[in-house]
């Protein structure tokens, strides 16, 4: 992710996976010219037996954070004027199998979210 404009951020979310296995998210800091842009995680969110704890992490160049993206509620706080942040994001899944309908839904989600509607029509003509 390349954050360059004031206000660039990612709101709280889970890295929802439609694969049958677990999904691990790997974030590596590449550029961090920011005093305020942070990875924020809420531990134990939704666990009635534990109080939610919030962590705020700075990902300096070369820092790596690995977590179960399906289970950790996380966000990236907004960038401020004159700041820049670049993070490499990867995922590892323990089982690459996916049911037919979940595959269709995943493809639609990716097409709309990342590639645009034209990606859905590619090869249709």
Distances (CA, A) of 62 to 4, 27, 37, 118: 19, 10, 16, 36
For 34-86, write each residue's pLDDT tens digit.
Answer: 988 899 999 999 999 999 999 999 999 999 999 999 899 999 999 999 999 99
For 35-49, write each residue's pLDDT tens digit.
Answer: 888 999 999 999 999
- pTM value is 0.78
Q: Which domains does the chain have, with CATH numbers?
A: 2-115 (2.60.120.620)
For residues 17, 18, 19, 21, the Cα torsion angle rounded to the nearest 10 degrees is 60
**Residue 30 pLDDT more than 90?**
yes
């Amino acid at each position: 992710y390349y954050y360059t404009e004031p206000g660039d951020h990612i709101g709280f979310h889970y890295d929802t996976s439609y694969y049958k296995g677990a999904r691990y998210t790997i974030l590596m800091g590449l550029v961090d010219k920011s005093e305020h842009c942070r990875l924020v995680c809420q531990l134990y969110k939704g666990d009635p037996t534990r109080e939610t704890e919030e962590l705020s992490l700075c990902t300096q160049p070369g820092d790596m954070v690995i977590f179960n993206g399906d289970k950790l509620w996380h966000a990236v706080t907004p960038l401020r004027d004159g700041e820049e942040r670049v993070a490499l994001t990867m995922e590892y899944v323990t089982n690459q199998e996916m049911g037919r309908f979940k595959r269709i839904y995943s493809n639609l989600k990716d097409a709309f979210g990342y590639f645009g509607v034209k990606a859905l029509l590619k090869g249709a003509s």
